[in-house]
Structure 1
Amino acid sequence: MASIRIVDEPAFVLHSIPYKETSLILDVFTRQHGRMALIAKGAKRPHSVLRPVLQRFQPLLVSWSGKSELRTLTKSEWVGGTPALVGDALLCGFYLNELLVKFLAREDDYERLYDRYTETITALSNLEFESKGLEEILRPFELALLQETGYAAALDRCVETQNKPEPDLQYVYQPEKGVRPVQADDPSHWPILSGQSLLNIAAGNFSDPVTLAESKQLMRFLLGLHLQDQVLTTRQILIDLKKI
């Protein structure tokens, strides 16, 4: 297998762990190559040019080479323009990163999801100037993650009729199938949503309070369904704080 060299790929650092005395192993989310494992040699040295650059939630341009699963980072450049996350926004950033690490296999490209992540980080970094609250910012990302990874069926089609949901009717989300009209014997833990909420969610419109509340129920259900026994630390903290 020939060595591969990639230059100036848009990326974000999701996670890092120390490696030997002076290096780091990075889990990065790149636009065209998905999640990559990169070794940043010497990045822990006090005067390393990489050390101040490899920060989470900051847009980077990274270059790497190698042919093994663990590639070698050869350059990292800070793109700039994104204020640091603080407070609740910082917790939400860690939550997004945990989701990506749990859901995405390595080296599968998710360009649309990368763009959604970038938009979400930008919104969180400008939270004080945003008209949207945390939930309105996070819900579209959760939905994009579930849809791009194949864990969420279409919300704007009834599986029984193949028509759009009727705004005034009630629907249930049935695992592995999708939305259909509520039936008396449906399991009580399946989320119930109005047709209007389903149409709003599918359109990315979470401004209606009822839609926001019902989308929270749906996202918790879908994420829990596919994470199973895996615990997301920051997600539980945010739930406990009633932030999401």
Structure 2
Amino acid sequence: MKRVEDHNIYILHTYPFKETSLIVEALSENFGRISLLAKGARRPRSLLRGYLQPFQMIQATWSNVSDLKTLYNVEWNSKYLGLKNQALICGFYMNELIMKLLPKDESSNVFFNFYHQQLEELSLNVGYESLLRLFELKLLEELGYKVNLDEDENGNPINPKKFYYYEAEYGASLPDVSTNGVKIIGQTLIDMHNNDYSHLNTLKQSKLLMRYLMRFYTGHDLVKSKELFLTNDR
């Protein structure tokens, strides 16, 4: 397919290319994460310029003959979500994780739809922390790093009253087996498995666990947009 017509995408990030153009990193509905060259998009009168904003689904047309595809046309395809304050920071955090972790040109319609749903939930300004935990877990699952939350590393059901150590790529272990990773109560793992973040302790411990796992899988680099959330945690 040499040309893709009117395809749904979300802008993840843009950066300058030469004097007047932009490189556009985007998440597409059927082609996964892609890089697009928006020629002349930095010119004041460019028709592309106003469309290349994050958190707004657009329909795009581009050539598909190389790794860096050429963007030709864009049109609006959804209402403006208007993320603000913490919701906006959460959105940038999600985009940054996708940029760091999701390989290019690997199709995933399911993940695109999930991302779209998460943005709509963010726009409602409720449950930021639980939304981020769900997004982090879904992204790791998309990459093949499923976080097992209902069984320990030996396949035994998690005991809600016992403490475990959760280690990346191994899972939960009782203290007499391993003390590597993050110490966490079994109830938190069960709550995360059930997507239940109604308990304060679950919110706190799940944040510590996912911070550890995301640092592990991003190469121990602190995600920049997340720094604003960590300031009050230290």
RMSD (CA atoms): 2.1
Spell out, residue by residue over 1:54-73, the C-alpha distance to the aligned partner (whole angstroms, 9 max, x if none): 11111112221131110111
Query: What is the Cα deviation at residue 26 of structure 1?
Result: 0.3
* Equivalent in the alignment of 1:180: 173
* Identity across matched positions, percent: 35
Where does the alignment leave 5 or more consecutive residues of structure 1 unmatched? none
Tell me whether 209-218 or 39-48 shows the greater mean CA deviation: 39-48
Partner Cα separation in structure 1 for residue 156 and residue 179 of structure 2: 21
Over 3 Å counting, the alpha-carbon distance change for 1:106 and 1:184 in structure 2 is: closer
Q: 2:22 aligns with which of 24, 39, 45?
A: 24
Q: How does 1:78-89 map to 2 (within 5 A)?
A: 78-89=76-87
Match of 1:7 in 2: 5
Which range moved further: 98-107 or 200-209? 200-209
Counterpart in 1 of 2:49?
Answer: 51
Aligned pairs (5 A) from 1:87-236: 87-127=85-125, 130=126, 132=127, 134-160=128-154, 162-183=155-176, 186-187=179-180, 190-236=181-227
1:20 is displaced (CA, Å) by: 2.6
Equivalent residue letter for 1:84: G
- CA distance in 1 between partners of 2:35 and 2:98 (Å): 14
Write the distance in 1 (CA, Å) between the matches of 2:219 and 2:19.
36
Looking at structure 2, the residues matched to 40 and 165 of structure 1 have their Cα atoms a distance apart, in angstroms, of 50
Match of 1:68? 66
Distance, in Å, in 2 between the alignment partners of 1:55 and 1:183 is: 51
Distance 1:42 1:79 in 2: 22
**1-side partners of 2:147 and 2:131: how far apart?**
21
| 1:161-217 CA-partner distances (Å, limit 9, x unpaired) | x24312222222123211232327613xx2122322212212222222222111111
- Scaled by the length of structure 2, the TM-score of the pair is 0.90
Matched residues in 1 for 2:194 and 2:8: separation? Answer: 27
Distance across 2 between alignment mates of 1:79 and 1:213? 37
| Structure 2 spans left out of the alignment, 5+ residues | none
| Count of aligned pairs | 234
CA contact (8 A) 2:149 2:189 kept: yes
